Homo-oligomer: A and B are copies of this chain.
C-alpha cells in the first residue's frame, strides 16, 4: 500500500530518454545557472521533451543534494489573532514569490518546542518567529538555525519591529492635543517587548507634557477584548474614589480598545463625548465597530514581508556574512489614524498642544 500517493511520475531520466541525452544534461538545461553552456539544439530538444512529458523537478531530491530546501518555517502563537494573520500573509507572499515554500506552524504552548524540531527535520533554510518571547526558552531549540524575529529584539538573532515607542507617543500627542489631561492606559504585563515599548512611549510623552500617569490609571489586562473590557470596567469603578474619571484611554492594542469601548457603552458613557479611546495596530475590526476606532496603524503585513525579505537575503548571503550580526533595522513606521473614538476633552478648550 501507499504506493506513490503523492503523484509525481516523470523524472529527469524520462526526459533524458525522450530527448536522447543523458540525465545530467537535462538537469543542466533545466535547473542550473545560465553560465552552464549547452548547445541550443539539445537545449531545445530537452525543453520540448520536458514540456511534452509535463516534467516537474522533484524539489526534495534537489534539496537533498544541494543541502538547501528553499523552504522557510513560519511560527506564530495563534493564527486566529488578526495581527498574526496579517504577518503570516505578508511573509507568505514574499516567500512564495521568491520561490520558497512556507511551513506554517502554530506554537500554542511556548514551552513545547517540538514543532520547531519538526521544522528542522524538514531541513528548513530558516525560520521566522513572531512574538514568541524568543528571548527565553528557544535558545538551543533554535541553535544553528537562521532565525528572524518579528517584534522581539534579541542580541542573538536579527529581526524586524515596528516603531512601538513611536506608536505610544503618537497616541499621547493626539490625546494631549485634544486637551485631555486625565488620561489612562490599559495594557498587558510587561513580558512582550512591543507592548512594553508602546507603554513607554506613551508614558514618556505624557510626562514630557507634564501630565501624570498615576498607577491607578495604569491597568494591566490580557491583550484581548475581554481583558480590555474588564480593565475599563475596573477603571470606571475605581474613579469615583477621589479623582475625576479619566477623559481618555490609550489601549495597548485594538482588541483591548474594542473591549474598553464595550465597557463604556455598558456603563452608559458616550464615546467620544465622555471618554476618548485610542487603540493600536489598526486591525480590520477597528473600522467595523461603532464609532470607528481611532488607532495607531502598525503595518503588520509589511512587517511579515520585511521579515521574509530579511531572512531570504541572509540565506543568499555567504556563510561568513551570515555569521556576523545583521545591521539593526530601522523600525517600521507607524501612523495615527483618527476616526470616531476621540474628541476634544469635555470641559476643556481643545487644540492646546
Contact = CB atoms under 8 A, between A and B. Distances in A.
Please tell me how many copies of the chain the complex holds: 2
B80 A89 contact: yes
Interface residues of A, number: 76
A315 interface: yes
Interface in A91-106: 92-93, 96, 99, 101-106
A1 B122 contact: no
Interface of A: 1-9, 56-61, 63-64, 67-69, 71, 74, 78-80, 82, 85-86, 88-89, 92-93, 96, 99, 101-106, 108, 115, 117-126, 143-146, 225, 255, 258-259, 261-262, 265, 284-285, 287-290, 301, 315-319, 322
Contact of A78 (B89, B99, B115, B289): B89
Contacts of A144: 7, 9
Contact of A290 (B3, B4, B5, B265): B265
Contact of A2 (B5, B122, B265, B318): B318
A106 B68 CA distance: 23
Given A60-B64, A60-B122, A120-B8, A319 B105 contact: no
A120 B103 CA distance: 14
